[in-house]
Structure 1
Amino acid sequence: MILIAMGVSGAGKSLVGELLAERLHCTFTDGDAFHSAANKEKMHHGIPLTDEDRWPWLKTIRAAIEDKQKAGETAVFTCSSLKRSYRDVLRAGDKDVCFVYLKGSREVLSERLGHRTGHFFDPSLLQSQLDTLEEPGADEAITVSIDLTPEQIVDEVLKQVEQR
């Protein structure tokens, strides 16, 4: 099984992903690690990424997913996965890939980004991400509110994974 914690910046993907991996006794990989230096530089300067910027990044994450599957491993990844077409690349028709959509209000996300330090993402890009976001339906993802504590989010995700 591959879980991908998704959502806009500030949703808590990394923290929730790490906690999920800990509970599942598996590896955790932050999708941001696969961004090119050029992508990181653009985001640092408040320049939104284009689809052309994202395709190579998404394909690299998909290759890492396939490596985990070939090794027979469960793994947790993070990736904003803002559009259905992006999720389609990551999923590649694979029923073993499950998205976890961390959903939050603009106000909560903005507040979180305002307190975050040491990250390349410019908080001014939040609106661009929200504009790009195509929220997944129940057929595509488990949706959990970021108003819950991280531990409650993990509990809810694992409960819903069991029910699938």
Structure 2
Amino acid sequence: MLEKIKTFFEKIKLQKANKQTILVGLLVVVIIYALWPTIFNSGKKTAIPVKTTVTQPPLLDKSTEVVVQEEVVDDTRLTDPFSLRTSAQRKDAVSETSGKKEGNDPVLEGIWVSEGTRVAFISGQTANVGGEVAGWRVTGISKTKVWLMKGNETKILELEAQL
């Protein structure tokens, strides 16, 4: 195709300046032809019919009261969220079981001792050293014994061997 154009220009023996103006003119015509829809049809926008099922929300009556809730902060003791948990009970379940067990003596059900962790299973609850079970504070845990303290009274629970 380029050869045909070259031969055309050679036949008519146009000067170099005339060749450049003709090429620039052709380029402008091609650009206008390509961009015609975007340049000249930008003002004409046709609406496309669309079926919608939009319902308007009911307006608020003037008699409707707006209730503002205030943030209530619990006075509960905050715990470390990254500490290891020894129990997965809800607070309601823990308070119910602790309320029922306070009258009874605590019963040692098991002990778990591993590196850096000592947990005692007492009366259906788990307790670390410093924790409370049935009103008693756990002061120490060994492989077979748990020491509890309530006021000035100290109680030692021993794990019985099960055969």
Larger Rg: 2
Same fold (TM over 0.5): no
Q: Which one has more relative contact order, counting CA pairs under 8 Å at least 6 apart? A: 1
Class of the TM-score when normalised by the shorter of the 2 chains: under 0.3
TM-score normalised according to structure 1 size:
0.22
More strand, by proportion: 2
More helix, by proportion: 1
TM-score normalised according to structure 2 size:
0.22
